[in-house]
Structure 1
């Protein structure tokens, strides 16, 4: 347990020091939230009742514990929230938005979500949160804590917005006037009190760009996403077949989807990272679907080592690319058709029924 509880002055001084250390570790902002999230519980329960979580059954299992930090980690009194930008160091804002949107007009190119082109953020953010906790201990004495980054049943967007990291955009992500939404979130549940930081007001206004651009109509209401229609969910969390009616809408997305963020006007203010961990890995950027589909399992594992893409395994990698190849085939020039068909036919007898099914669908797009 922490050696003492701070008064208001101590809390402010502690937070100033924590912020300074956090910036040294690559975080762009630190906030503090209390643990009473009861006002968020009705929306969470409704979202679950509507089945918008798809097969993310852990969300159901944990239920309201996600909205109750002190139940998830007994003894929690405050939550320190952290923001870490992930636009690669070589990015030139705001040109990156135009560049990323232009990839969608290249049907033969496989598009991987920006956040997934570097090292696995779960490892990077959590490791740096733990380093921050080591420094905090020198300030407050021994204390109890747990650090999270998209790694437990935590309402991290709710905690982030309550602590002033930004507001909840219509795409449901946290948006900041000075950083857009291209950042990772992290949390430290601590057993000592810190003065909560103030939330910020929303600034989406009448803009519906994110809703309008979503290829599959996954943003069913402002701030509400039906994961079952979201390309990120379909290509990553979904372990089975991708619903046939959604396949033609997925274009050339093969891992995740950034469309609702790349179109957002606030992302002209997105910040680049100082960390080499999030530099783009060349095999994942700007490569043709035909070449990516040719990776055997050993090549897949080698090219995704240390990154988040490895979690979907080679089978689902091929499933995703098969869908993109089918979409490319449907609109290909006559001279491109042969190469696309040849790539698909090379996997037509794959050992996986999941891969075979998606290859057969893709081939049928240009009979």
Structure 2
């Protein structure tokens, strides 16, 4: 067994110890297949007002521009599927936002993983990424065999579905590389058929500017009147294309206490949401990703749903 495979096996066992669902490794380099796709998607304006998507085009496609001497991209999945979800007939938020903001939870795990690697093998340069830098995380996770990018443009896994976060460690050492898995969407069109705003414009292509998540989180303007009645009670984010995906029959509840919701969250009725005060917002969503939309943003979304 060469040292590359020993170190790779060590990294994967450490990832498991830290609570990650799975870990895959790919050789760092230019993402040739993704380049024309990303360029076309941006040219067609599918990113709406998400101007930041246009920045750092080269870095998005080449991790060696992000990390000096980058040789390997270590991709990690962390489960966030909850034990229980909202009561019926109320306003809903995406499952990923039930607990504490994932950026902080995952960042500390990644730092610990990098520290472990450095302790184990010595000098290793690297950086941790959690959806906060220009890294095409789904492409790297697919390249490292953790799943395939499905028709809803989420990473899907036969073993665990898609309710997980994706994060990366980009490091300057050569490792043993995994190989991609095949696509298992087949002829299924459940996600295309179920999307309330028809944001999945064709298999594997999502128009970000039509997605409920975009409207309820990213859009800072007033919500367009043309979308009235099509948000399906989603007040922050949307899980429809994941909820209907057959592979999510295999989702199992996470074991991360920090992702557990505030005790009041799941029992909130429509009336509770409509009468939410800033104090309640701060209490229920303390350290939550929902704070991204701020109190005013959440009120705007709820008012749009109830009118």
TM-score of the two chains, using structure 1 as the length reference: 0.81
Inter-partner Cα distance in structure 1 for 2:176 and 2:8? 9
Task: Give the structure 1 partner of residue 10 of structure 2.
Answer: 17
- The answer on 1:280 being equivalent to 2:258 is no
Q: CA RMSD in A?
A: 1.5
Trace 1:240-279 onto structure 2 (pairs within 5 A).
Answer: 240-279=221-260
| Residue among 43, 47, 55 paired with 2:41 | 47
Structure 1 residues 247 and 283, CA gap change in structure 2 (3 angstroms): farther
Q: Deviations over 1:296-337 (max 9, x none)?
A: 223212221111001111110101111121xxxxxxxxxxxx
Q: Deviations over 1:186-222 (max 9, x none)?
A: 0001011112211100101000001100000000111
Note the C-alpha offset of 1:283: 2.9
Say which structure is richer in helix: 1
> What is aligned with 1:3?
none
The aligned counterpart of 1:157 is 138
Deviation at 1:113, TM superposition (A): 0.8
Q: Please show how residues 131-142 of structure 1 align to structure 2 within 5 Å.
A: 131-142=112-123
The separation in 2 between residues aligned to 1:226 and 1:241, in whole angstroms, is 19
**Secondary structure of the equivalent of 1:245?**
helix
What residue number does 1:129 align with? 110
Give unpaired runs (5+ residues) of structure 1. 1-7, 92-98, 326-361, 363-367
- After the TM superposition, which of the residue ranges 189-198 and 173-182 deviates more from structure 2? 189-198
Report if the CA contact (8 A) 1:54-1:228 is conserved: yes
Match of 2:21 in 1: 28
TM-score (norm 2): 0.96
Deviation at 1:123, TM superposition (A): 0.8
Q: 1:168 matched to which residue of 2?
A: 149
Give the number of the structure whose alpha-carbon radius of gyration is greater: 1
Corresponding residue to 1:178 among 159, 163, 170: 159
Structure 2: tracts of 5 or more residues without a match: none
